Amino acid sequence: MARLYVSNKDETPRLFSNDFLEFFSKVHWTVPLIIYIPVVLFFLYISYFNFGISIGNIILLYLAGILAWSLKEYLLHRFIFHYSPKTDFGKRIVYIFHGIHHAYPMDSQRLVMPPSVSIPLAFLFYFFYKMILGDINVNPFFAGVVTGYLLYDMTHYSIHHFAIKNKIFMKIKAHHMKHHYTDHNLGFGVSQPFWDFIFGTRFQK
């Protein structure tokens, strides 16, 4: 079988000739935590103190948001990040967003989503969910979505760079490593393999 990566070392190849774009294509793994934990706390705070949503409903909507993110994670990874365009421009875009990660899977500076991408997407998804759920229920739900995103980013970084021995984590890690090193047309769930079981893209034993 052909090797599915260029380098398995922690190295960061240049992605853009423009220094400004190159700078914003890299990010330390703690940056999403610094940006988005306050966002989660803010939306949970206003859910209870500003909008008076009951604790029970906040929990339900928050968990629903985490579940919604997990599905979005799977769909984005499978159909957007692994899309096979026919034009050179399209191939370049896919490579920028995800292909470079498969070429250099241990690159520690491109394992979590840079704010230059995640912040516009956060605004887009917030207003999308607001149209569906309304001005009140969107708040705990969106807090759950952002939490799901953080779980995804931190799990992804941990899989590639932290030596965690927890049995559940080891199974999640094995699932993602097979995606990288066995068959990148399977195993699209990163923070969990649930949707791969649902949609038939899991690895067979």
Crossing angle (nearest 10°) for helices 115-161 and 55-75: 80
Report the C-alpha gap between 49 and 136 in whole angstroms: 12
Report the C-alpha gap between 56 and 53 in whole angstroms: 8
> What string of DSSP letters covers 39-81?
HHHHHHHIIIIIT---HHHHHHHHHHHHHHHHHHHHHIIIIII
pLDDT in tens, 18-35: 999 999 999 999 999 999
User: pTM value?
Assistant: 0.95
| CB neighbourhood size of 11 (10 A) | 12
Predicted confidence at residue 106, as pLDDT, reads 96
Predicted confidence at residue 15, as pLDDT, reads 93
Q: E-assigned strands of 25-174?
A: none
Backbone angles phi, psi at 33, to 5 degrees: -65, -45
Low-confidence residues of the chain, pLDDT below 70? 1-2
The residue ranges of every structural domain in the chain are 30-199
Predicted confidence at residue 2, as pLDDT, reads 64
Predicted confidence at residue 204, as pLDDT, reads 86
Q: Closest by alpha carbon to 145, among 36, 15, 57?
A: 36
